[in-house]
Amino acid sequence: MATRYWLGGAVAIPEVWTISITGTWVEDDTCYLELNGKQLVLTVGTAVTIADIGAALVAMINGNAAVGTESRSALGSSVGEFARVTASYVAADANLVITGQSDGRPIGTLSVDSTGSAAGTIAIDGGTFSTAGTGPNDWDNADNWSADTAPVNTDSVVCDHQASSAIKYNLDQTSLTLASLIITNGFRHSIGLSEINRDSANVPYDENLTTFLSLAAATVMNIDGSGGGSIKIDCAATDSTTTVTGSGSSVDANMPAIQLNLNNAGADLNVLGGDVGVCLTSGTAGNLATFTCGGSQQSRLTIGDTVTLAAGTVSAGKVIINGSITTLTVEGGECEQRGAGTIGTLNLNRGTFTDISIGTITALYQNGGVYDRSKDNRGKTISAYVVYARSTIKDPFGTITASAGFDFYPRLQDLTIDFPTRKKYTLAAVS
Distance between CA atoms of residues 57 and 76, nearest Å: 10
Partners of 115 in the β-ladder: 30
DSSP readout, 73-142?
Answer: S--GGGSHHHHT-EEEEETTTTEEEEE--TT------EEEEEESSS--EEEEGGGS-SB--B-TTBTT-G
State pLDDT tens for residues 81-110. Answer: 999 999 999 999 999 999 999 999 999 999
> In terms of Cα–Cα distance, which of 222, 105, 226 is closest to 161?
226
DSSP readout, 380-397?
Answer: EEEEEEEE-TTEEEE-TT
Distance between CA atoms of residues 361 and 356, nearest Å: 12
Q: Which amino acid would we find at residue 5?
A: Y
Distance between CA atoms of residues 102 and 398, nearest Å: 62
Q: Assess contact for 379 and 359: CB atoms under 8 A.
A: no
State pLDDT tens for residues 107-145. Answer: 999 999 999 877 889 999 999 999 999 999 999 999 999
Distance between CA atoms of residues 333 and 316, nearest Å: 4
Q: Assess contact for 191 and 180: CB atoms under 8 A.
A: no
80 sits in which H/E element? helix 80-83
pLDDT value at residue 431: 63
Q: Assess contact for 139 and 170: CB atoms under 8 A.
A: yes
Give me the torsion for CA of 358, 359, 362, 364, rounded to 10°. -50
pLDDT value at residue 249: 92
Of the listed ranges 321-330, 351-360, 413-422, the least confidently predicted one is 413-422
| Interval 18-36 mean pLDDT | 95
pLDDT value at residue 430: 67
Q: Classify residue 77 by its DSSP letter.
A: G
Domain boundaries, the chain: 16-127
pTM of the model: 0.93
pLDDT-above-70 percentage for the chain: 99
Helix and strand numbers, DSSP H then E, in the chain: 2, 34
